[in-house]
């Protein structure tokens, strides 16, 4: 019989190890937690209990919401061309490239190849946002552009998964209608409610946000969609509130990064099988390479076109080459619905996790740009030429 407190101590202890290790290893805590989870998962019995899965899922939802809440509409307006171009190409290039490789070279069936393309087309909002917060780049023009491009990229991934494999029924229609209604009502209703209840020790403001996320997440789950999609969209429409009230953002972030996201990243790492990595290392590396090469071919030239600084262009391309949340969700969707088998799932999942680690380490170690804070808001026009210029 499970002793829930010993299990809790184990998981939180692993998160603590990752936090302490970060003092000497200058990489994102998200990546360290993935690595610690992978090592622990292969050395000890790191059981994924229902409550661990719940906290991990909760962490993914809240982290995705926070990433959406960091997206500044004014920055998107100023840099609409670069944001949309990088996001759209960031999705299409790896989707088509991986799909073609899986079908024509690996011999996977067309639906299996589509799952592979979708799973490896993503950009990891969770990893990118964690990196942005730790480095402070979420307060820069460049960081806002990258987060916005991540949104466009992953929106393409979610739409592709929904359109290609959607279970078109009443629940999907209800979920879509409820999401649209929430997106229209919340920007007007939330400021009034927050003013009414105020900031209290009991955190009614945060509880309201969580209720909305859980309700829409429940509808998404019932409709065979994913709870992180409405979380991202709700974060975006509430972004003006959270960007104005940085203390509220900080309080939500503390909840997420202290207890929730460690479970998500540790769980992601624990799913990596050392045995499968050894026996299928070649094909895993090939899929990872196909994803990264297609991302580079598609995105890096765009950073030149929009006159990013070379270092900023490489940093942007590398972070857009990451993958985790939507990639692992897409792979698990394929396995759950019997589209791919367990070996194909492990190959895709390991490649997805590899894409969360490899490009992020390279970006942080060798291509991190000079920090430049946000510049003042100006009328909308595409100014990707100054993708990271600041105001302070």
pLDDT tens track for 238-271: 999 998 898 999 999 999 999 999 998 899 888 8
Across all residues in the chain, what is the average pLDDT? Answer: 87
Q: To which residue do tokens 């840099």 refer?
A: 79
- Do residues 132 and 70 touch, judged by C-beta distance below 8 A? yes
Instruction: Assign 373 to helix, strand or coil.
Output: strand
Q: What phi-psi label fits residue 203: left (phi over 0), alpha (psi between -120 and 50 degrees) or beta?
A: left
Helix axis angle for 80-100 and 141-165, nearest 10°, is 40
CATH architecture of 16-386: Up-down Bundle (1.20)
User: Which pLDDT does position 387 carry in this prediction?
Assistant: 40
H helix or E strand, kind and range, residue 17: helix 4-21
Tell me the CA distances in angstroms from 267 to 11, 35, 47, 57, 345, one per residue in order: 9, 10, 9, 10, 16
353: tokens are 């996790």
What beta strand segments (E) does the chain contain? none
- Do residues 63 and 259 touch, judged by C-beta distance below 8 A? no
- Do residues 123 and 151 touch, judged by C-beta distance below 8 A? no
User: Which pLDDT does position 383 carry in this prediction?
Assistant: 45
Contacts of 266 (CB under 8 A, 6+ apart): 11, 14, 15, 18, 33, 34, 36, 37, 40, 46, 56
Helix axis angle for 228-237 and 204-222, nearest 10°, is 140
User: Which pLDDT does position 16 carry in this prediction?
Assistant: 96
Residues of the chain with pLDDT under 70: 1, 26, 166, 371-392
In angstroms, the CA 185 to CA 143 distance is 28
User: Which pLDDT does position 391 carry in this prediction?
Assistant: 40
Tell me the CA distances in angstroms from 320 to 22, 88, 146, one per residue in order: 23, 11, 8
pTM: 0.80
Longest dimension (CA), the chain: 62
User: Which pLDDT does position 373 carry in this prediction?
Assistant: 60
User: Which pLDDT does position 372 carry in this prediction?
Assistant: 66
Q: What is the pLDDT of residues 76-111, one digit of tens each?
A: 788 899 999 999 999 999 999 999 999 999 999 999
Residues of the chain above pLDDT 90, percent: 51
Determine phi and psi for 23, rounding to 5 degrees: -60, -35
Domain map of the chain by residue range? 16-386
User: Which pLDDT does position 133 carry in this prediction?
Assistant: 83
User: Which pLDDT does position 322 carry in this prediction?
Assistant: 93
- Which stretches of 23-140 are DSSP H helices? 29-43, 50-69, 73-78, 80-100, 110-119, 125-135
């Amino acid at each position: 019989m499970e002793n829930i407190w010993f299990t809790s101590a184990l998981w939180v202890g692993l998160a603590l190890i990752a936090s302490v290790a970060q003092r000497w290893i200058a990489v994102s805590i998200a990546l360290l937690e993935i690595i610690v989870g992978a090592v622990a998962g292969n050395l000890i019995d790191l059981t994924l209990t229902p409550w661990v899965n719940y906290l991990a899922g909760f962490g993914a939802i809240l982290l995705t919401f926070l990433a959406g809440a960091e997206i500044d509409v004014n920055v998107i307006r100023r840099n609409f061309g670069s944001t949309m171009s990088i996001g759209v190409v960031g999705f299409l290039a790896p989707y088509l490239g991986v799909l073609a490789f899986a079908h024509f070279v690996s011999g996977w069936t067309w639906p299996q190849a589509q799952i592979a393309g979708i799973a490896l087309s993503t950009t990891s909002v969770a990893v990118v946002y964690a990196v942005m917060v730790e480095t402070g780049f979420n307060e820069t023009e460049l960081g806002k552009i990258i987060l916005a491009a991540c949104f466009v990229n992953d929106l393409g991934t979610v739409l592709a998964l929904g359109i290609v494999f959607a279970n078109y029924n009443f629940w999907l229609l209800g979920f879509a209608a409820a999401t649209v209604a929430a997106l229209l009502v919340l920007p007007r209703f939330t400021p009034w409610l927050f003013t009414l209840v105020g900031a209290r020790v009991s955190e009614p403001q945060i509880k309201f946000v969580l209720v909305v996320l859980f309700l829409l997440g429940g509808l998404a789950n019932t409709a065979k969609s994913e709870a992180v999609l409405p979380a991202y969209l709700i974060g975006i429409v509430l972004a003006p509130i959270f960007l104005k009230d940085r203390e509220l953002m900080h309080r939500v972030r503390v909840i997420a990064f202290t207890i929730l996201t460690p479970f998500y990243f540790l769980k992601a790492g624990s799913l990596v099988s050392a045995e499968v990595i050894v026996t299928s290392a070649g094909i895993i590396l090939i899929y990872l390479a196909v994803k990264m090469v297609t991302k580079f071919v598609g995105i890096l030239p765009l950073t030149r076109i929009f006159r990013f600084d070379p270092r900023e262009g490489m940093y942007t391309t590398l972070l857009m080459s990451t993958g985790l949340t939507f990639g692992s969700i897409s792979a698990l969707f394929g396995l759950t619905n019997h589209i791919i088998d367990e070996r194909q799932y492990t190959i895709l999942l390991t490649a997805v996790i590899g894409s969360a680690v490899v490009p992020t380490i390279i970006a942080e170690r060798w291509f991190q740009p000079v920090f430049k804070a946000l510049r003042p808001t100006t009328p909308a026009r595409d100014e990707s030429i100054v993708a990271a210029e600041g105001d302070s």
